[in-house]
Amino acid sequence: MTRDEALDKIKKCLALAASPEAHEAAAAMRQAQKLMAQFGLSEDDVTLADVAEVRQQAQNVSMVRWEAALACMVARAFGCETFTTQSIQLGSGSKIRRQRSYVFVGVGPAPEVAGYAFDVLARQCAKDRRRYIGLQSKNCKAKTKVARGDLYAEGWIAGVSDKLDQFAGSARDTALIARYMEQDHSGLEAADIKSRVKGKNVTHNDWHQGRAAGRQAELNQGVQGRAAQPLLTA
């Protein structure tokens, strides 16, 4: 039996320990205590076993404001904590390939749902952002196009936020998640995300057009393998 299997069995035993049948409850508690001693597990270990994390690939290798804002919004809506990481992988021909991910930490199925929602929304927002950039004048500088696209994406996220909050409505076990983060990710540092919009030739219209597009997002039922989870499309 592995440690994770022991944790699962201990949680089942503790659930049975709440049985109104005294003999059954006592036997379940003895079994839970035996397993905890055997595997060197504490009550904190059992409690923290309810916390899980899901890693979702980002659309951008560099950290951009609109995608980070989307990750934070989704995490909040589904009662999770989030942080970002960057990994280096070897591609074909021994080429180094960098990949950014956002990690969602929560209780029960919350992080899986949050990761899935982030993936769907990030893909849609990136697609709409590229379309909006394509509408800009050919005489427009590349940095200006990027800035307008970013501001559009920020508006898009604002447009979908209310709908996402209403759809999710998940309670957050702040204390439990904080204990998990302190135990497993205590070395995290605050990210410094540079704005690609500040000082560029952008207007409020870029943001408002993005918000209008984001408000058109529709929340449907999940697809194969995710019947109880959300599929967000726009």
Q: Is 156's pLDDT higher than 80? A: yes
Q: Is 83's pLDDT higher than 60? A: yes
% of the chain surpassing 90 pLDDT: 39
Continuous H helices in 78-197:
110-134, 142-168, 174-184
Rounded to the nearest integer, the mean pLDDT of the chain is 84
How many whole angstroms separate alpha carbon 172 and alpha carbon 190? 21
Q: What is the pLDDT of residue 23?
A: 80
Confidence band for 223, pLDDT divided at 50, 70 and 90? very low
Q: What is the pLDDT of residue 168?
A: 63
Longest Cα–Cα distance of the chain, Å, equals 81
Which whole number is the average pLDDT over 66-85?
93
The SS3 call for residue 219 is: strand
